[in-house]
Structure 1
Amino acid sequence: MGRCVWVGPADGCARAGCPVNRRVALAGLVGRWRGWFGGIAVRSALVAGAVVLAGLVIVGSAATVLVYQTMCADVDSAAQARAQAVADVLRKEPPDEVESVLLHTDHRIVAVQIADATGTVVQRSDSAPQTPLIPVPHKGSRDGVLATDDDDVRVSTTTVTSRKGQQYTVLVGGGIESIEQMMGTAGQMLAITAPIVAVVAAVVTYLLVRRSLRSVEAIRSRVSAISAFDLGERVPVGNRSDEISALAVTMNDMLARIEAGHAAQRRFVGDASHELRSPLATVVSALEIGVTHPDLFDRTLLTSALLPEARRMQTLVENLLLLARADERGLPLRRIETDLDDLASAEAARLKRETTLRIVSDLSAVKASVDPDGFVRVLRNLADNAARYATSEVIIVVHAKGDTAVVQVIDDGPGIPAAARDKVFERFVRLDADRSRRGGGTGLGLAIVAEIVAAHGGSVGIDDREGGTGTVVTVQFPVVDSPDSSR
């Protein structure tokens, strides 16, 4: 036997009739078969056709059997009634006195016989044979319905004793040939119509599913054409209010969210690059001066240029990392029961040391379940922001209001327009030119406040200061315990 030499996937085996070639051909055929029957429309049509065919066969067969049994029961009842009527006459009269009407036959009663104890037929209808329809006597000689060798006749028997003590057996044959013919015709009709109905159901299902899948294919093709550089495209929405239209609407909503997130990401990267460019340029310029003019690289250059800009970059990078963690998996919190007034008092003391503003503290004893580091960062960002724009005074307020801890930072600066109060919590947002690098703002402080407060399940809002110009920033946290007034 020659060896099979494999020459490549496309050519198969070089030897004709090789089993490898046959396996490859079979695998290709199976793949094409699966591809043809792998479509939803084809599978749905096959399932619908099979279900309809099985339903028609089961229901039709059950109905045919039920009708057959019912009609046979009607024939048996008629035969038993005729046998009982003949038996009533035999109790009083001899067999030859039985009325001819009781011996009459039709399509249901096909034979009437009267047999004596020896099994001899002593009276019969014209269509009945001279021998008994069933052997007499026999084990089933009691009244009932018995089958004969002829499947088209069912025999009802009744045994009676005359006034003279003679025993007779009345045999009445019920014909079921017409019933069997009708059932056979019904079965043939069912065998013909069931596959036709199943095929029609499969074709209709295929067409309906294909029509429905056209919308899905339109959605799929449109989504596949959307690239990361052009997220403004939307999938078509059908005119009908069905599940596919709902899918298209949901897909468009998702695309809108992706587009908004992509735009926010690009804006975030651009803003971050812009913010880092200025301090880096300052540091590089100072270092270049130090390289070209070593005599100018002194302590003044370090403290006035390099160190402030390096710290500013450090703060900016830390803020960016914090926001990135918040976007990725939320801010990790270490919640403990904390005295908010103690942290606020320490922050007010820090502000007094670093500014020449008048710092006022209005603190009540309040405990809340917060992350101490996060709360300090919120308070510091708000205090620094207020001190940057305050004219002469910053007020820090901590008190409880029901089950809520309220923290307020108030300044007497120019205030924030009502239309921009939600926007200031976005990243890299500046409302005017004063919020520049010289002022120390990066546009991330209030965005970080919003993230930390949201992670605590609290809220933050901005209002005007009562009785004059200025801004009131209010932060609310849930309280663990009621304020301890005894402190």
Structure 2
Amino acid sequence: MSDRGSVRYRITAVATWVVALVLIVASVILVATQRVQLTNGVDAALQQRAADILLIQSSELGASGEEGFAQIINEDTEVIASSRNLAGQPPLPIPYRLGDEDRIQTVDDLAVDDDVFRVLSRTVSTADGRAVLHVGATFDTVLESTRTLVGALLVTIPIVAASLAALVWWLVGRTLDPVEAIRAEVADIGATDLHRRVPIPKNEDEISRLAETMNGMLERLDEAVGRQQRFVGDASHELRSPLARMRTELEVELSMGQNPQLESVLEEVVELQTLIEDLLELAKTDANSTVSVKTPVDLDDVVFREVANLPSGVVDISKVSAAQVFGDRVQLGRAVRNLVENASRHAVERVVISLQETDGEAVLIVTDDGPGIPIEKHELVFERFGRIDAARNRADGGTGLGLAIT
């Protein structure tokens, strides 16, 4: 499974997106709040400046270009007073009509130092009648402060989000390490080693309880499989002696004369004995009770010995060459015997055995000229009691355990 589909990735992605979204919303609110506060400060200064100008009532209102400007326009749209930076300038093109309520607006198209201004427009009374007072203050400081804050946030938010993602990735990984250890151990546990247990984390949390539950399940499975294996072994042991006595008695009776019915019964008894021996061997294999003694073995000798027990002319061993392997002679003999007997039962005329040693490996191939096995049933032949229908209908179909034991 790729990291994109993992719990670790999803938790990290969700946490990062949520925090990034919160940071973005908080940043928008912060920028808006700062701009409003700075704008309110400028507006308050304009209100105070307008009040001061009304007290001066002179043709020159002072105010340098750095601070802003001021201009009073009479009803005839004539400038009757202005700040020094507007001396001799015509009326400013600020949208405001005489008699309107006070208005504060941001204007950026005034020919005053190429700045953006915050302008307060108000109708006032002078000695010559009513007039319009325009008081302006530069708004560039507010815009510059806003741009600086936005730039800082554009750098800070990705850094914070990336740092958080790395931290969450690490923390979630540390948290899920025990889960991965449990998964790896369970994946490695096979049917023959159910005695193994998953590691239990030291922390008393949900993961440790999961590990304890998993170990409890493995223990119950181990006990159930053990009981089944003991039952198969005990039943097989108990059946060996009665079947051996039956076979002996039948063979004694048949030695005195032919009896088709007794011969049929003897064949069934022999088949039952074979089944019992296979079940015993399977039980030992499942319980790991077989003692494997590995030594150098001439595999070609094993093949010749097993083929000698079959009718002559059935098996072609002309392609068997010398090959030595390191293994258990008894188990290798059983494997070869099961393969050859299975092939001979299904062959029409002959079985061909090929044995070659290549690059330090021995390759044994057993083929027959029988009908073969359908592709969809290839795995079935290795299952216990797994036989295709054609084999079940034959008198010499075998027990269905040979390849499973092999």
Match of 1:83 among 40, 50, 60: 50
Are residues 1:179 and 2:142 paired?
A: yes
Query: How far 1:282 sits from its partner (Å)?
Result: 12
Are residues 1:57 and 2:24 paired?
A: yes
Change (3 A) 1:84 1:134: farther
TM-score of the two chains, using structure 1 as the length reference: 0.43
Partner of 2:210: 247
Change (3 A) 1:265 1:141: same
2:73 alignment partner AA: A
**Which string of whole-angstrom CA distances, capped at 9 and with x for unpartnered residues, describes residues 236-284 of structure 1?**
1122233322322221122122222223333455566678x49976995
Are residues 1:121 and 2:46 paired?
A: no
1:142 alignment partner AA: E
Match runs of 1:142-291 below 5 Å: 142-150=101-109, 152-162=116-126, 166-269=129-232, 277=239
| Distance in 2, Cα, partners of 1:54 & 1:152 | 32
Partner of 2:361: none
Query: How far 1:127 sits from its partner (Å)?
Result: 4.0
1:157 alignment partner AA: S
Whether the 8 Å CA contact 2:65–2:85 is kept in 1: the answer is no
Secondary structure, counterpart of 1:232 in structure 2: coil
Change (3 A) 1:238 1:138: same
Percent identity (aligned): 31
Partner of 1:112: 70
| Distance in 2, Cα, partners of 1:227 & 1:36 | 27
Query: How far 1:133 sits from its partner (Å)?
Result: 3.7
Whether the 8 Å CA contact 2:102–2:121 is kept in 1: the answer is yes
Change (3 A) 1:66 1:137: closer
| Distance in 2, Cα, partners of 1:106 & 1:36 | 61
TM-score of the two chains, using structure 2 as the length reference: 0.51
Match runs of 1:310-459 below 5 Å: none
| Distance in 2, Cα, partners of 1:203 & 1:170 | 58
Whether the 8 Å CA contact 2:124–2:132 is kept in 1: the answer is yes
User: How many pairs align?
Assistant: 250
Secondary structure, counterpart of 1:167 in structure 2: strand
Partner of 1:73: 40
Change (3 A) 1:230 1:139: farther
Instruction: Name the Cα RMSD after superposition.
Output: 3.9
| Distance in 2, Cα, partners of 1:63 & 1:293 | 108
- Residue segments in structure 2 that go unaligned for 5+ positions in a row: 110-114, 257-406
